[in-house]
Structure 1
Amino acid sequence: MKLNLQDIPRVKTITKEDFIKNYFKPQKPVVIEHYIEDWPAYKKWNLDYIKEVAGNKTVPLYDDRPINHKNKFNEAHAKMKMSDYVDLLKREPTKYRIFLWNILKEVPQLQKDFKFPDFGLQLFKKLPMLFFGGRDSYTFMHYDIDLANIFHFHFEGKKQCILFDQKQNKYLYKVPYSLITREDIDFHNPDLEKWPNLKHAKGWVCNLNHGEILYIPEGYWHYMRYLTPGFSMSLRGIAQNPKNLSKAIYNLFIMRNIDNTMRYLKGQKWIDWKNKKAIRNT
């Protein structure tokens, strides 16, 4: 038995009006297939180009090891020159990923290769972020701390994306005081005998190809798995729903501080308690 997932709808391209009416207002995901073909990035952006323009940059790397109380929030597991990292991606599978890499700050010239699309939402102009991964590397199922509207543009190769909305929280073994589910759940091939409530969760799935955009609505859980080496860029807009906006403020200024304080005071016991609580709550 597999997860209860339906295919994310796909459109060739879309107008601002249709996007607002059919996807933003009802808060439903969509894949837009041909929207960026006039961008220089559509033809230029691949791993070789990134190596050419950013090869001398030292980049933070993350893998799929479980969260440890000794790790600070979003603390990197390793560092490497971008040129060496691209070579690694092309040579062999690796668990190392790059996430939240600010291209405006690190490689300003990449800004010339894309435009901020007008989908009717105000986007953060200073926060275009890049994400890289090797074949079969993945992110834990999580949602973003600010519950933003996300436009996820994929380049080179293919990645699988699984989404759930916040209504599915009661089935997902959500870890309290955090933004993740239990890290030992393999959403690519879940053990539904061990995690039986996942059977009741209703989600979405797609495979993203080069040049395609995935719209991820506010607060949606997302699991990303690289089927081939590749990278993506996310542009984000502030949560519009007042409930989501207040939750984002709580996450940023209260929840994160509670978690950091308890990690400091209780160490691994706090992490273990949260993981047990995730099962009891679910």
Structure 2
Amino acid sequence: MKLQLQNIPRRSNLSKEDFLKEYFEPERPVVIEDLSHNWPAYKNWGFKYFKEMAGDVVVPLYDGSPAKGRENSHGPAKKMPFKDYIDILKSGPTDLRMFFFNLLQNCPDLIKDFKYPDLGVKFFKKLPVLFVGGEGSKVVMHYDMDLANNFHFNFAGKKRLILYPPDQTGYLYKVPYSIVSMEIINMDEPDFEKYPALAKAKGFEAILGHGDALYIPSKWWHYVKYETPCLSLTLRSLPASPRKIAEVLTNLLLVRNFDNLMRKIGGQKWIDYKNRLAIERTHKKAQIE
């Protein structure tokens, strides 16, 4: 048994009008193959370039272990100069990742290497973020708390992404008071005996190589597997509808703070309770005995 996944469409020479009509407005993902081909980043961005341009910048690195007990969230496993992290990436598989690394704050000289594409979308230009991961590292299935529309540009290496639309949430073992699926689930080889609802979920997948740009619509679930060491850039467009803005505020001000409070009070018991509830609710939704 396998996950029900179809390939995300791949397009080139996609006009602004067609992007808005066919993908942005109906909230459908697409891989745009040539969106960054005229950027300096398309030619230059790789590990050698970043070692030269930002090698001395100290970067936070995260591993694959989840937050435990009374931790609010999983903090950095370690910090080191970017050049030393690149050496680790080249030495073999590692679960160490950089994520949501703000280029504007940390490496402003690199901003000149890319531009915001003319797709009829208003970008949040204060937050161009870098994602880097080692071979074999994974990002748990989740959606973004701020419900942003993401434009994910891959420059070095190869990665696999699995996406699910919001209407499939009921099958994904969503952990209550969070925006993640159960971290114990291996999305590469799911245990369908323990998590049978996943077999009913209908999703999408794509392999991103050099220069590919993936549009991930607002509130779409996404899981990432680094097939090789990868370096990617995400540009973000924040939601504009009053309904989604209200949901973002609820996520940031109420849900997150409530969960953090309960972690401090209940520790691991609270985490275990949420995981049990995720299974019970999912199986009820999927009508699984």
TM-score range, shorter chain: over 0.9
Which whole-Å CA distance do the structure 1 matches of 2:14 and 2:70 have between them?
A: 46
- Secondary structure (helix, strand or coil) at the match of 2:139 reads coil
- Secondary structure (helix, strand or coil) at the match of 1:50 reads helix
The answer to whether the 8 Å contact 1:128/1:235 transfers is yes
The residue that corresponds to 1:141 in the other structure is: 141
The residue that corresponds to 1:81 in the other structure is: 81
Q: Report matched runs for 1:11-22 at 5 Å.
A: 11-22=11-22
Q: Which 5+ residue runs of structure 2 have no aligned equivalent?
A: 283-289
The residue that corresponds to 1:227 in the other structure is: 227
The residue that corresponds to 2:128 in the other structure is: 128
Which whole-Å CA distance do the structure 2 matches of 1:242 and 1:218 have between them?
A: 14
Q: Report matched runs for 1:94-243 at 5 Å.
A: 94-243=94-243
Which whole-Å CA distance do the structure 1 matches of 2:193 and 2:13 have between them?
A: 41
Which whole-Å CA distance do the structure 2 matches of 1:280 and 1:112 have between them?
A: 49
Given residue 202 of structure 1, which amino acid in structure 2 is its aligned partner?
K
- Secondary structure (helix, strand or coil) at the match of 2:239 reads coil
- Secondary structure (helix, strand or coil) at the match of 2:138 reads coil
Q: Which 5+ residue runs of structure 1 have no aligned equivalent?
A: none
The answer to whether the 8 Å contact 2:66/2:74 transfers is no
The residue that corresponds to 2:93 in the other structure is: 93
Which whole-Å CA distance do the structure 2 matches of 1:270 and 1:91 have between them?
A: 38
Given residue 117 of structure 1, which amino acid in structure 2 is its aligned partner?
P
The answer to whether the 8 Å contact 2:96/2:137 transfers is yes
Structure 1 position 242, deviation (Å): 3.9
Structure 1 position 201, deviation (Å): 0.4
Q: How many residue pairs were aligned?
A: 282
The answer to whether the 8 Å contact 2:173/2:182 transfers is yes
The answer to whether the 8 Å contact 2:56/2:81 transfers is yes
The residue that corresponds to 2:286 in the other structure is: none
Query: CA-to-partner distance for each residue in 1:33-90, whole Å, 9 max, x for gaps?
Result: 0111110000000011111111111111111112213433352122121111000001
The answer to whether the 8 Å contact 1:150/1:217 transfers is yes
Given residue 23 of structure 1, which amino acid in structure 2 is its aligned partner?
Y
Which whole-Å CA distance do the structure 1 matches of 2:254 and 2:243 have between them?
A: 16
Identical-pair percentage: 51
The answer to whether the 8 Å contact 1:219/1:244 transfers is no
Given residue 25 of structure 1, which amino acid in structure 2 is its aligned partner?
E
The answer to whether the 8 Å contact 2:70/2:265 transfers is no
The answer to whether the 8 Å contact 1:133/1:229 transfers is yes
Given residue 134 of structure 2, which amino acid in structure 1 is its aligned partner?
G
Q: Report matched runs for 1:46-85 at 5 Å.
A: 46-73=46-73, 75-85=75-85
Bigger Cα displacement from structure 2, 241-250 vs 140-149: 241-250
Which whole-Å CA distance do the structure 1 matches of 2:97 and 2:151 have between them?
A: 19
- Secondary structure (helix, strand or coil) at the match of 1:153 reads strand
Which whole-Å CA distance do the structure 2 matches of 1:245 and 1:199 have between them?
A: 32
Which whole-Å CA distance do the structure 2 matches of 1:150 and 1:280 have between them?
A: 31
Which whole-Å CA distance do the structure 1 matches of 2:241 and 2:186 have between them?
A: 31
Which whole-Å CA distance do the structure 2 matches of 1:80 and 1:166 have between them?
A: 37
Query: CA-to-partner distance for each residue in 1:151-209, whole Å, 9 max, x for gaps?
Result: 00001111001001111111000000111101111111111111100011000000001
When normalised by structure 2's length, the TM-score is 0.95
When normalised by structure 1's length, the TM-score is 0.97
Given residue 267 of structure 1, which amino acid in structure 2 is its aligned partner?
G
The residue that corresponds to 2:287 in the other structure is: none
Which whole-Å CA distance do the structure 1 matches of 2:51 and 2:159 have between them?
A: 20
Given residue 205 of structure 1, which amino acid in structure 2 is its aligned partner?
E
Structure 1 position 241, deviation (Å): 4.3
The residue that corresponds to 2:244 in the other structure is: 244
